[in-house]
Amino acid sequence: METTRLSNFDRAIGIVTAVNSYKSRKINEEVLLQQFKSNRHLTDLKRQLDEANQINKQILASQLRAEENKEAQKYYKALSFSLFETTETIAKIEDQMVQCYVLKNYYDKIKFGVVEANNYLEELVDKSFNKQTVDKLTSIKIHTDSKSAEFKSSVLSKIDAYLEDYRASEARVLAIAKPAFLMEAPARKRIDVSRTFCIIVLGILILFFSLAALGTIVGPNSDGLLLPCFLVAVLAIPFSMFLRKEIRWRKEYDQFRQNEFIRLHNDAKIEKELLHEHELRIKKEKENLLSHQFCAAMTEINEIHPTFEQSVSELLEINSSFDKKMKL
C-alpha cells in the first residue's frame, strides 16, 4: 500500500517538476545553433567553406546563410505551431484553478517564444498566425487574472513551494550517511627474522658438532672428544634461549589469532546491526515524507481538481512532441 502511495506521489512530483522546468527553459539562438550542428548538409557546407578559395568562399558563404535561414524558418514555424497548440490546450482547461496554475507557469515562456519567433520569421502569414496565439494568450490571462484572489487561496498556488520543501526534505533523508565502523586490527609484532636465523644456524652447528663427537666416540681415536662436546655445550646456551623466546612468541601469536577471530566476528555482527538500524531509519524517514505538506496537497488536488494531472500531461506531451520533432 505504501509503495503504491509513493509511486503516485513520484508521478505527481514528476508532473509538477516538468511544469516548472518548462517555465524555466529558454528557447533562443543557442537552441537553434544546436539544431544547426546536427544538420549534415550545413556541416558539409561549412567544411567546403574552410577548404575553398576566395571566390568559392563567397558563393558557399551565401549558400550557407540561405541554408541556415531555411533551417531557422523551419524551426520557428514549428515553434509557433507548438506554442499555438499549447495556448489552445490551456484555453480548453475547464477547471479554472488548474488553468490559473498552468498559465502562471507557461505564460512567460509562450510570450517569449512568440516574440522570438516573430523576430526570425519572414512570411506575414506566420506573423499573423503568431498574433492569434498572443491574442488567445492575452484573453486567457485576463480571465485568470480575474480569478487571482481565488487562486491565491487554493492549494494549487502553494504546490510549487511545497514541492521545493519536499525535495529539500527528501535530500536530507538521502544524505543520511551510513554509520562508519572501522574494524582495525591491532598492530602485531612480526616474527623476528634474525632470531629465527640464529636458531637455524645454531641448530645446524650443534648437530654438526654432536655428530663429530659421536664419530670420535665410535672411532679408534677418542682424544678429540672434548672439543666438540665443549662447543655443543657453549652453543646450546644461546640456542635454548632463542628457542624459548620463539616458543613463547608462537604461543602468544596463536592466542592473538584466536582473539582476533572472536573480535572480527563480533565487529561484523555489530556492523550488521548498525547497517540494519540505518536501513530502518531511512525507511522510517521515507514513510514520514508521506505526511509532508506536498503529499497532503497532492491528495487534496486530486480530490478537488481531478483533471489536474490529465491537463498538465497533455501540455507536457505537446512540449515533448516538439522536442522530438526538432531533436532537441
141 & 7 share domain: yes
Angle, in degrees to the nearest 10, between helices 96-120 and 2-24: 40
Query: Do the beta carbons of residue 275 and residue 178 sit within 8 Å?
Result: yes
Q: For 233-266, give one letter per residue: b (16+ CB within 10 A) or e.
A: eebeeebeebbeebeeeeeeeeeeeeeeeeeeee
User: In sequence order, which residues have a C-beta less than 8 Å from that of residue 11 and are 6 or more positions away?
Assistant: 309
Phi and psi dihedrals of 179, rounded to 5? -65, 130
> In tens digits, what is the pLDDT along the chain, a chain of 328 residues?
444 354 555 676 777 776 766 544 444 445 555 554 555 555 554 555 555 544 455 555 566 566 677 777 888 888 899 999 999 999 999 999 999 999 998 998 899 889 888 888 888 999 999 999 999 999 999 999 999 999 999 999 999 899 889 888 888 888 877 776 665 555 565 667 788 888 788 888 888 878 777 766 655 555 566 777 777 788 888 888 888 888 887 777 777 777 777 777 777 777 788 888 888 888 888 888 888 888 889 889 989 999 998 998 898 888 888 877 776 5
Query: Do the beta carbons of residue 290 and residue 9 sit within 8 Å?
Result: yes
User: In sequence order, which residues have a C-beta less than 8 Å from that of residue 297 and are 6 or more positions away?
Assistant: 155, 158, 159, 162
54 & 116 share domain: yes
CA 230-225-242 angle, 5° bins: 30
Measured distance between the N- and C-terminal CA atoms of the chain, rounded to whole angstroms: 38
21 & 114 share domain: yes
**CA dist., res. 309 & res. 315, Å (int):** 10
Specify if 64 maps to a domain. Answer: yes
279 & 314 share domain: no
Total count of domains within the chain = 2
User: In sequence order, which residues have a C-beta less than 8 Å from that of residue 147 and are 6 or more positions away?
Assistant: 96, 97, 100
Helix H or strand E segment including 58: helix 54-91
**CA dist., res. 273 & res. 161, Å (int):** 38
pLDDT confidence of residue 155 = 92
Specify if 163 maps to a domain. Answer: no
Summarised one tens digit per residue, pLDDT across range 200-243 is 888 888 888 787 777 666 555 555 667 777 777 888 888 888 88
145 & 244 share domain: no
Specify if 82 maps to a domain. Answer: yes
Q: What is the CA radius of gyration of the chain?
A: 42
Query: Do the beta carbons of residue 198 and residue 238 sit within 8 Å?
Result: yes
**CA dist., res. 148 & res. 99, Å (int):** 11
106 & 237 share domain: no
The residue segments making up the domain with residue 134 are 2-153+306-326
Query: Do the beta carbons of residue 97 and residue 297 sit within 8 Å?
Result: no
Which pTM value belongs to this model? Answer: 0.61
